[in-house]
Amino acid sequence: MITKILLVLAVLVAAFLIVVAIQPDEFRVTRSASITAPPAEIFAKVNNFHQWEAWSPWAKLDPAARNTFSGPESGVGSVFSWSGNSEVGEGSMTLLESRPDELIRIRLDFVKPMQGTNEVEFLFTPGRTHTRVTWTMSGKNNFVGKAVGLVMNCDKMVGGMFEKGLANLKALSEGKTAE
């Protein structure tokens, strides 16, 4: 009887390990919004980490988080580090590429609750009366990330925060009150 129970447990563990192992090795979360403002105005709010507190949804999750800035005020080489509650964790963002009114690329390094490095990109596409802002985060899924992905929908969770952030950026850029 005990042998059968152990065998069933071994099969279940093996099945779980196989299911985790076949999950995608990479992830990508993307959200976009149309903002009635010129690209330069929106770009400036993203290119300067000091301005993120006005629109980032994560800033609102822990107003008491300890934030530090280093490097230039804005653009390539600027760094924003934070340490906060369990909702925001600990990490840093380093601005890697800044093409005015077009593209911002950021390396996002998490320390807590889980270590990891991802790439974040903001793309600004001008239209006749608006700017399309696309916010993307992508990265590698290690085994733990794949396992967590089985019970937590990263696209829904992070994507929802991107939607809030873009809505705040839209309100701020259009002269309305951000949430």
Q: How much is the pLDDT for 55?
A: 94
Does the pLDDT value for residue 89 go beyond 80? yes
134 within 8 A of 112, measured Cβ to Cβ = no
91 within 8 A of 111, measured Cβ to Cβ = yes
Does the pLDDT value for residue 175 go beyond 80? yes
Task: Name all domains of the chain by residue range, CATH numbers in brackets.
Answer: 26-173 (3.30.530.20)
DSSP, collapsed to helix, strand or coil, labels residue 62 as coil
Say what the pTM is. 0.81
Asked whether the bond before 39 is cis by omega within 30 degrees of 0, the reply is no
Q: What percent of the chain has pLDDT over 90?
A: 59
> In terms of Cα–Cα distance, which of 41, 17, 6 is closest to 175?
41
With cut-offs at 50, 70 and 90, classify the pLDDT of residue 153. Answer: low
Q: How much is the pLDDT for 150?
A: 67
Which is more confident, 114 or 94? Answer: 94
**How far is the C-alpha of 171 from the C-alpha of 162, rounded, in Å?**
14
With cut-offs at 50, 70 and 90, classify the pLDDT of residue 48. Answer: very high
Six-digit token string for 13 = 């563990």
With cut-offs at 50, 70 and 90, classify the pLDDT of residue 164. Answer: very high
DSSP secondary structure, 15-35, as one string = HHHHHHHTS-SEEEEEEEEEE
Q: How much is the pLDDT for 60?
A: 86
Six-digit token string for 1 = 């009887």
Instruction: Name the average pLDDT for the chain.
Output: 88
Q: Any idea which residue has 């507190």 for tokens?
A: 53
Q: How much is the pLDDT for 38?
A: 94
